[in-house]
Structure formats: structure tokens, C-alpha cells
Amino acid sequence: MENRVDWLDTTQYPFRSHYLTTEYGKLHFIDEGQGDVLLFVHGTPTWSFLYRDHIKVLSKSYRCVAIDHLGFGLSDKPQEFAGTPQAHAENLTLLIEQLNLQNITLAVHDFGGPIGLSYAISNPENVKRIILFNTWLWETKKNRDAQKIDRILHSKLGNFLYLKTNFSPKVLMKKAFFDKRKLEKQIHTHYIKPFPDQHSRHGLLNIGKSLFGSSDWYGELWNNADVIRSKPTLILWGEKDVFIKTEYLEKWEKFFTNKEIHLLQSGHFVQEEKTEETIKIIENWMKKSGG
């Protein structure tokens, strides 16, 4: 099935669309190339578009699968869907099982970290390697920034900003870039347009609330994460991230035993700010780690 939205630049995103029917609506994903599986998992307010350039290159050597969580990108935007990372993780597992993906290299970012790594922790035998962009996997209740964000999102103002003004992709996304020039207007449009009205923005609000609200789930994952500790892991970290800061990286450094770390002069969206550099690093690392 082809893409049906008039705002999508198919030179930027030249992929065939696929859909998986779930209980709450159609889940969009792309599936490009052949070979070892590279599974890309996004956070908020992004979608598979974030990984477009990586997939263009890496799909020449690997089978690249990238999901759009329900409520994001080209997937349906059902208001009745919980929109928590736990719910998104269930859909990710559904997709992996439906496509029979095996020996997966899992690439995760932002909320995609707990969403994707929850699968790896439950199914360590099916995850070969991990590529980690700025993300976390531990409880957030004691984090003051998370507490502050949670108060705002549960207020009338927070609801207004997220649902009426599309604040997350319009404002917060721009704030998350270190080099603002990297977020060209034509690219930014592809993150704003998936959310044309307030009915389509509940996924943004729900996952935002889950930064704090799903804290116990993150903590439980972290407590069970030893099964992935020795997996070959590539960490591509934006040092200038104002949201997921260097202290998070320090926890990952201590945790993983078989890791390669690259620090980049980038904000939160490393894939956009350091595109060519991260593609090259991934290519080299995949070859080195037996892929």
C-alpha cells in the first residue's frame, strides 16, 4: 500500500508503506532491503521519518524495518489507545512476531529506548546487537525534570499546549536541536503534519505523561536488564542534549560490558544533526561486530 498523505516528500522518504492491523487501528511500518535485521524504534514526537537517511544507505546491506507507533507518523491516531510505552511495546512485539524477525539489531532512541529494550529483555535470544541513541531505562520518579514536566502535562496549560497548539513537534523539537540550522523548514514540516488537529495529538500528550507515569515500569525493566548487559552495543550520544543529559550516558557506560561509544556535538535528535557521521559509524560497527 502506498502513502496517501499530500505533505510527504517521497524523495526524502521513498519507501513503500506497510500496515499491521491492531486492536486499536492500523500500525504503519516500512520494510526495506534484505539480510540481517535492523529494527528502528522512534520516540516522540518523531516517526520512522527520523531514520530515513540511515535506511536509504543501510538497506543496501541489511533488512531495515522501522515502525510508526500508533498515534505517530503514518499510523492511525486512535484516541482510545492508552499510548503508554508499555502499550507501544506490545505493538512492537506484535510486529516482530508477525514479520518473524530474527537475530535483530535493535536501534532505539528517546521513548523508543524502553519500548524497544523491553522486547530485548523479554527475548534476549532474539536480539543480536543494540544501537543506542539518547535514551534511558530506569525509574524517573526521583528526577526533578520529569516531575516538573509531569505537573505541566497534567495541567490545563499543558493540555492546551499539546492538543491545541501542537507544541511538542512545533516548539519542543526545535528546542532539542543544538544546531538549529539542521532542522530545515521542509524537514520540520514532516514532524508537524502528522498531527493536523487536536484529535490526532493525544498520542503526544499520553506518551509525554508517561515520562513520569510509567516510572515503575522503567524501573522494573532496569532491574531485569542484566540479560542484555553483554550484548554488542553501539552508543551514539548527542552531548548537547538539553533533555536526556550526559548523566544518563554515564549509567549506560557503567551498565554495558561490550560497548563502543561515540560522543557527538549534537542535541537530542542525533539522527538529524549528525546523519552522515552516524550512518558511517553504524556501517563500520556492524561489519566489525559480525554483521
DSSP string, the chain: -----TT--TTTS----EEEEETTEEEEEEEE--SSEEEEE--SS--GGGGHHHHHHHTTTSEEEEE--TTSTTS---TTS---HHHHHHHHHHHHHHHT--SEEEEE-TTHHHHHHHHHHH-GGGEEEEEE-S---S--TT-HHHHHHHHHHTSHHHHHHHHHS-HIIIIIHHHT-SSGGGS-HHHHHHHHTT--SGGGGHHHHHHHHHHHHTHHHHHHHHHTGGGGTTS-EEEEEETT-SSS-HHHHHHHHHH-SSEEEEEES--S-HHHHSHHHHHHHHHHHHHHTT-
Average pLDDT, the chain: 96
Of residues 96 and 2, more confidence is placed in: 96
pLDDT of residue 39 exceeding 90: yes
What does the radius of gyration of the chain's CA atoms come to, in whole angstroms? 17
Residue 256: predicted pLDDT: 98
Strand 127-132 versus strand 233-238 pairing type: parallel
pLDDT of residue 84 exceeding 80: yes
Residue 290: predicted pLDDT: 77
Answer for the pair 70, 90: CB distance below 8 angstroms, yes or no: no
How would you class 204 by CB atoms within 10 Å of its CB: exposed for 0-12, middle for 13-18, buried for 19 or more?
buried
User: Which residues share a beta bridge with 25?
Assistant: 22
Residue 13: predicted pLDDT: 97
Write the pLDDT tens digit of every residue in 194-250: 999 999 999 999 999 999 999 999 999 999 999 999 999 999 999 999 999 999 999
Q: What is the mean pLDDT of residues 75-85?
A: 97
Residue 262: predicted pLDDT: 98
Residue 28: predicted pLDDT: 98
Q: Please report, as a single letter, which amino acid is at residue 57.
A: V
Q: What is the mean pLDDT of residues 147-175?
A: 95
Q: Could you tell me the CATH superfamily of domain 18-288?
A: Alpha/Beta hydrolase fold, catalytic domain (3.40.50.1820)
pLDDT of residue 1 exceeding 50: no
Residue 236: predicted pLDDT: 98
Write the pLDDT tens digit of every residue in 172-203: 999 999 999 999 999 999 999 999 999 999 99
pLDDT of residue 4 exceeding 90: no
User: Which residues share a beta bridge with 63?
Assistant: 37
Q: What is the mean pLDDT of residues 39-68?
A: 98
Residue among 237, 239, 132 nearest 178 (CA): 239
Conformation bin of residue 119: beta by default, left when phi > 0, alpha when psi is -120 to 50: alpha
